[in-house]
């Protein structure tokens, strides 16, 4: 008889246990346990300073944790470098944009693709180069920037730049993609477009989204993790989050602190 694995029996793609990160005496993240299932859409919510970005930095390897362990696809990766994690299939964006504004859309994506192939920049053989260029143009299409390949990134709209960042994160062919406040600074229309882009993302890619905008977060996510003062305080479905009194007291009640 064939056994059909149900999601409950499959190990999570990402598992954090007892994760902490201190900066001197400041506990930016403390004692975080987190399980994210394969293909899940997870939002991480919480007020400014809650520790959301630090948690991403610990997961992506940008900062090692001060405590705890991280498993990715069943292997412990707690001490691996960021580039080793990228090769295993982690892609991320940064809250503060890291785009090259003076280069074209295609060149930015090309550099992101190159970064994966070699870890650092070195001359590429011409045939291989054409392949990588083609991949960069494909990525532009997957994030709705077809026709904009030659455009300088500095002259894209804010929303298009955010779309491009999603494309750059996709350059590593991620199985796990982490987006840090992709909707911040966007107009209402741009947020709708970005939400659509996220909803159309390949369902095989696991997505963790830090989002200050409740509308975007609760629309895209299947589960929501709420952080406050470095800790996870609530976890649940979007409906459970909407109905949760702690969430209202700590977050919704004070109004959205984002840049609007």
Neighbour count for residue 218 (Cβ, 10 Å): 17
Cβ proximity to Mg ion, 124 vs 233, nearer residue: 233
C-alpha distances (whole Å) from 199 to each of 117, 174, 192, 204, 211 are 28, 16, 10, 12, 15
No. of helices (H) and no. of strands (E), the chain: 9, 10
- Give the total of residues touching ligand ADP (CB under 6 A): 11
- Binds ligand ADP by CB under 6 A, chosen from 28, 143, 168, 178: 28
Site string for Mg ion, 169-208 (x = CB under 5 A): ----------------------------------------
122's tokens: 């070195």
Cβ proximity to Mg ion, 53 vs 93, nearer residue: 53
Residue 52 in the binding site for ligand ADP (CB under 6 A): yes
Please name which of 17, 53, 50 lies closest in space to residue 32, comparing C-alpha atoms.
17
167's tokens: 């494309």
Strands 223-228 and 231-236, by their bridges, are antiparallel
Q: d(Cα 174, Cα 90) in Å, to the nearest integer?
A: 5
Using the contact rule CB under 5 A, the part of the chain among 46-54, 69-77, 225-233, 245-253 near Mg ion is 46-54
- Binds ligand ADP by CB under 6 A, chosen from 32, 43, 45, 50: 50
Cβ proximity to ligand ADP, 190 vs 211, nearer residue: 211
Residue 54 in the binding site for ligand ADP (CB under 6 A): yes
- Binds ligand ADP by CB under 6 A, chosen from 17, 35, 49, 116: 49
């Amino acid at each position: 008889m064939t056994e059909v694995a149900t999601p409950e029996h499959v190990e999570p793609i990402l598992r954090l246990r007892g994760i902490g990160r201190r900066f001197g005496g400041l506990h930016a993240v403390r004692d975080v346990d987190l399980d994210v299932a394969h293909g899940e859409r997870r939002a991480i919510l919480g007020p400014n300073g809650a520790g959301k970005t630090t948690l991403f930095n610990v997961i992506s390897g940008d900062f090692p944790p001060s405590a705890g362990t991280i498993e990715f696809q069943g292997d412990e990766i707690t001490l691996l470098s960021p580039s080793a994690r990228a090769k295993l299939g982690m892609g991320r964006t940064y809250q503060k944009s890291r785009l090259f504004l003076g280069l074209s859309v295609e060149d930015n994506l090309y550099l992101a693709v190159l970064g994966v192939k070699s870890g650092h920049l070195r001359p590429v053989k011409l045939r291989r180069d054409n392949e990588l260029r083609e991949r960069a143009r494909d990525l532009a299409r997957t994030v709705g920037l077809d026709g904009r390949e030659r455009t300088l990134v500095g002259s894209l709209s804010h929303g298009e730049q955010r779309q491009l960042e999603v494309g750059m994160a996709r350059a590593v062919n991620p199985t796990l993609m982490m987006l840090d406040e992709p909707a911040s600074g966007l107009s209402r229309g741009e947020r709708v477009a970005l939400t659509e882009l996220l909803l159309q993302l390949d369902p095989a890619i696991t997505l963790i989204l830090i989002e200050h905008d409740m509308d975007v977060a609760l629309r895209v996510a299947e589960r929501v993790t709420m952080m406050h003062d470095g800790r996870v305080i609530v976890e649940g479905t979007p409906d459970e989050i909407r109905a949760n009194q702690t969430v209202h007291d700590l977050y919704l009640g004070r109004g959205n602190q984002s840049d609007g």
